[in-house]
Amino acid sequence: MWYDRCKNYFMPNAARKYSGFDYFWRAAASSVLCMGVTTLFTYPLDLIHTRTSVDMTGRNKTRQYTTTFDCFNRTNLDETRTGLYKGVEVAVLSSLIKASLTLPVYDLVKRTQNKSDESTFMTRIGCSMLSGALISTLLYPLDTIKRCAQLNGARGNLNLYPTPLDTVLKIPS
């Protein structure tokens, strides 16, 4: 729904009337706008999910966050609204890499199958699963960096990384 609205904004005429680079930049701009709007609303929920899942305590100890709403409020009060978007730069970079590599990696995996195999449903599913696993393996370090940035300076955690670049430099050591 959002993508169609964004696409209609950048392509007021029918899509077949655009070709080449003109079509590409309009489709890419609508995709980036849609991703930006989606990230604006969903990223704080990802951050809250990370913080509440890490908030494990032993017996006879109180948790730092009692509910999702409590985590949202405490993060907003302790770290201001920017605290709800810690690590968003890494998440956007990861999304851009994933979007740009998904189809080329799938095509590469699909080309490596035997030419004698006919393109069946199971072959296509296998190729998509393998390409998804390869991309996930490639992007896992960025997800780790994002999680560290999300927890950095949260209630009960130290502020180890002043910037996202500092997170990248300190994690491997």
Please tell me the pTM assigned to this model: 0.75
| Contacts of residue 54, Cβ cutoff 8 Å, sequence gap at least 6 | 151
Condensed to tens digits (0 to 9), the pLDDT of residues 25-43 reads: 777 777 778 888 888 899 9
Mean pLDDT of 108-137: 82
3-state secondary structure 83-137: HHHCCHHHHHHHHHHHHHHHHHHHHHHHHCCCCCCCCCHHHHHHHHHHHHHHHHH
Evaluate if residue 119 carries a pLDDT over 80: no
pLDDT, residue 14, reads 75
pLDDT, residue 77, reads 92
Spell out the domain ranges in the chain.
1-85, 87-173
Condensed to tens digits (0 to 9), the pLDDT of residues 36-79 reads: 888 889 999 999 999 998 887 777 788 888 899 999 999 999 98
